[in-house]
């Protein structure tokens, strides 16, 4: 009995010893976890917090020095991860995914020639009514700067479009830095904020300038109006100046106006930079211009994957918008020709095929997506780190911009220009403007989807004759190797086209400012210096 009791006591001691040891280990492990997930307050205060959001008051009064402006000569790169990423092609080196195309040493060269002189005595005043969305107006404003120079006019700060689809009430100074615009172009064109009082009631020539016109048209036909009028009003500003065959100094002036003078207002620039910084907290990111909004689908007549009710709603919008001239559109033919924006689902398939992993941060540069979260579900499933203005900023921060489509679009423009990769789902005004700006700033990586070929693949997947995987990935990757924004001269008109169709088929000036505004650095033989060679 005594031996049994001793044996039991020994076992109990061992059990108690093990229990005490286990409790001690749990306590130590628990304390370690608490230190990691709930550090002391003095430690928390030392950690970087990308979500420590400043108030709108702080943004409004933030001083933006020239060095802190969002438009910089070269992109501020976030550190690229050194991991091997498993994409659709297998193991892909992440640096290849994010690596920009070779820029072949092209740099901006927009200084005027030695024979260029300042603005001459004005012959009258040019009033401009811009039309369209933000980027359509931007291009028109820059063209009208050049027109004012050509016809020797004093340019009155342009009036922004308040009657378009977006019904935006913003004035020029709400969207752009008005004083900077005037002062930075002082050596080119005289610009004033308002027409002189004595001319407010003067008879003015209201003119629809001919589309894609050359310098002779303006120097002769338009300048002749000064014989009878002191004020000329341009009723529209979009596509009123030719893309090509203009004097070099006029082309360089267009670039100075677009990429230097026409910067956004300080509140927009500050908010845009804040969004860029917050996006950078996730690492290198893609800016996806997902042009899948109600107005775009209604205008283009694209109804793929939509319900009958949705298709009818879009058709009604198109038929009731008077200035949209084309009413009867075949959506199947439109899509087959590559004229439709990719759907969110198609974009997800495209990105996966290119090799981007599910952890890729993506900024959605767009307004309200037609169909909302339901339409975005497939893209969100494939790439869960999807951000936009509303997710990166507080309601308070966005409140000054929220009811102004042009100002909201300007925020997307800034984040898109600054992105590591820009991908548009449709080649609209925003996509073209951002691509041109990124080319001007060093040929930053811009992947332009070949929609005509892509929809063929997607349709085969839908009907079961093709599957997602290595075969699809290799084909899509190969097709897009030469669609990443590398330097090339601006494309001219399509052979055989005539008249207006000839101009329409040209690549727009602001999509690709090469050769007019970009020069190539070439080293001398000893390699110690370089020269700029205009190509």
Under the banding of pLDDT at 50, 70 and 90, the label for residue 181 is: very high
pLDDT tens figures, 188-199: 999 999 999 999
Give the three-class secondary structure for 169: coil
> Which is more confident, 108 or 13?
108
Task: Provide the pLDDT confidence category of residue 165 given band limits of 50, 70 and 90.
Answer: confident
Choice between 26 and 253, residue whose per-residue pLDDT is larger: 253
User: Helix, strand or coil for residue 106?
Assistant: strand
Instruction: Give the model's pLDDT for residue 260.
Output: 97
Cβ-proximal residues to 143 (8 Å cutoff; 6+ apart), any chain: 237, 240, 241, 254
b/e per residue 9-26 (b: at least 16 CB within 10 A): eeeeeeeeeeeeeeeeee
Percentage, residues of the chain above pLDDT 90 = 76
- Spatial separation of the C-alpha atoms in residues 298 and 233, rounded to whole Å: 31
Q: How far apart are CA 112 and CA 210, in angstroms?
A: 27
Give the integer Cα–Cα distance in Å for 241 and 259: 17
Distance CA 519, CA 502 (A): 27
pLDDT band, very low/low/confident/very high, at 11 (cuts 50, 70, 90): low
Q: How far apart are CA 66 and CA 85, in angstroms?
A: 38
User: What does the pLDDT read at residue 18?
Assistant: 57
Residue 8, pLDDT score:
54
Q: Which residues contact 478 (CB under 8 A, 6 or more apart)?
A: none
In the structure encoding, which two tokens stand for residue 424, read together?
A: 């548009």
pLDDT for 294: 94
Using a pLDDT cut of 70, give the percent of the chain over it. Answer: 80
pLDDT in tens, 454-508: 999 999 999 999 999 999 999 999 999 999 999 999 999 999 898 888 998 999 9
Give the pLDDT mean for 119-146: 96
Q: Which CATH number fits domain 266-292+341-511: 3.90.25.10, 3.10.20.600, 3.40.50.11350, 1.20.1260.60?
A: 3.40.50.11350
pLDDT at 456: 97
* Model pLDDT, residue 13: 62
Using an 8 Å Cβ cutoff, are 413 and 422 in contact?
no
pLDDT of residue 307: 95
CA distance 184 to 179: 8
pLDDT bucket at 178, cuts 50 / 70 / 90: very high
Of the candidate ranges 335-349, 374-388, 495-509, the one whose mean pLDDT is the lowest = 495-509
Q: In sequence order, what E strands does 342-400 have?
A: 362-364, 386-387
Edge-first strand listing for the sheet containing 205-207: 191-192, 153-156, 124-128, 231-234, 205-207
Domain range list for the chain: 124-260, 266-292+341-511
State residue 499's pLDDT score. Answer: 85
Predicted confidence (pLDDT) per residue in 56-100, tens digit = 333 443 433 333 444 443 334 444 443 333 444 433 457 789 999
Asked which of 29-33, 52-56, 253-257, 445-449 is least confident by mean pLDDT, the reply is: 52-56
More confidently predicted of 393 and 528: 393
256 or 37, greater pLDDT: 256
pLDDT exceeds 50 at position 332: yes
User: What's the pLDDT score for residue 96?
Assistant: 87
Least reliable range by pLDDT among 269-278, 322-331, 518-527: 518-527
Q: Is the pLDDT score of 124 beyond 50?
A: yes
Nearest to 186, CA basis, from 147, 220, 150, 145: 145
Question: What is the reported pLDDT for 72?
Answer: 43
| pLDDT on residue 441 | 97
The confidence score (pLDDT) of residue 53 equals 38
Token code pair at residue 14: 């061992």
* Rounded-to-integer distance, Cα 324 and Cα 298, Å: 10
- On average, the pLDDT of the chain sits at 85
Residue 85, SS3? strand
Strands 124-128 and 530-534: unpaired
Alpha helices in 257-307 (DSSP H): 266-280, 294-300
Please give the average per-residue pLDDT across 302-331, as a whole number.
Answer: 94
Q: How far apart are CA 27 and CA 34, in angstroms?
A: 11
Tokens standing for residue 499: 């008249």
* Largest Cα–Cα separation, the chain: 130
Look at residue 35 in the predicted model and tell me its pLDDT. 40
Other CB atoms within a 10 A radius of the CB of residue 535 amount to 12
């Amino acid at each position: 009995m005594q031996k049994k009791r001793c044996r039991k006591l020994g076992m109990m001691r061992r059990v108690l010893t093990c229990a005490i040891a286990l409790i001690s280990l749990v306590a130590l492990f628990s304390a370690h976890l608490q230190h990691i997930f709930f550090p002391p307050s003095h430690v928390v205060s030392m950690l970087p917090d990308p979500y420590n959001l400043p108030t709108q008051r702080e943004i409004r009064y933030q001083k933006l020095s020239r060095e802190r402006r969002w438009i910089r000569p070269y992109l501020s790169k976030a550190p690229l991860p050194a991991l091997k990423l498993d994409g659709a092609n297998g193991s892909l080196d992440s640096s290849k995914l994010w690596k920009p195309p070779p820029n072949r040493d092209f740099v901006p060269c927009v200084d005027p020639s030695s024979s260029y002189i300042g603005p001459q005595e004005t012959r009258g005043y040019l009033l401009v009514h811009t039309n369209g969305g933000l980027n359509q107006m931007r291009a028109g404003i820059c063209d009208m700067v050049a027109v004012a120079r050509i016809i020797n006019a004093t340019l009155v700060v342009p009036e922004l479009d308040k009657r378009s689809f977006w019904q935006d009430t913003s004035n020029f100074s709400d969207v752009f830095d008005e004083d900077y615009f005037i002062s930075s172009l002082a050596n080119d064109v005289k610009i004033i904020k308002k027409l002189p009082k004595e001319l407010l009631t003067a008879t003015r020539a209201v003119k629809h300038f001919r589309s894609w016109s050359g310098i002779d048209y303006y120097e002769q036909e338009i300048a002749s109006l000064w014989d009878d009028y002191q004020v000329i009003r341009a009723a529209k500003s979009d596509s009123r100046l030719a893309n090509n065959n203009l004097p070099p100094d006029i082309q360089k002036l267009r670039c100075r106006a677009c990429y230097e003078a026409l910067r956004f207002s300080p509140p927009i620039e500050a908010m845009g930079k804040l969004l860029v910084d917050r996006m950078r907290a996730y690492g290198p990111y893609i800016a996806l211009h997902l042009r899948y909004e109600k107005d775009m689908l209604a205008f283009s007549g694209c109804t793929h994957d939509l319900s009958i009710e949705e298709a009818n709603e879009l058709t009604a919008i198109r038929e009731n918008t008077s200035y949209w001239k084309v009413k009867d559109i075949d959506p199947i033919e439109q899509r087959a020709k590559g004229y439709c924006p990719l759907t969110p689902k198609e974009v997800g398939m495209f990105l996966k095929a290119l090799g981007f992993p599910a952890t890729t941060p993506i900024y959605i540069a767009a307004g309200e997506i037609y169909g909302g979260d339901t339409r975005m579900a497939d893209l969100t499933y494939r790439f869960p780190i999807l951000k936009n203005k509303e997710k990166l900023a507080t309601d308070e921060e966005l409140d000054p911009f929220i009811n102004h489509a042009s100002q909201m679009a300007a925020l997307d423009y800034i984040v898109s220009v600054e992105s590591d990769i820009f991908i548009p789902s449709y080649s609209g005004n925003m996509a073209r403007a951002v691509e041109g700006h990124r080319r001007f700033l060093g040929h930053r990586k811009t992947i332009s989807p070949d929609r005509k070929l892509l929809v063929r693949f997607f349709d085969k997947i839908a009907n079961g004759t093709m599957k997602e995987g290595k075969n699809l990935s290799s084909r899509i990757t190969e097709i897009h190797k030469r669609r990443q924004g590398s330097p090339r001269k601006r494309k001219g008109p399509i052979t055989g086209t005539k008249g207006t169709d000839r101009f329409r088929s040209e690549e727009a000036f602001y999509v690709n400012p090469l050769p007019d505004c970009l020069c190539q650095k070439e080293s001398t033989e000893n390699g110690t210096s370089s020269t700029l060679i205009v190509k």
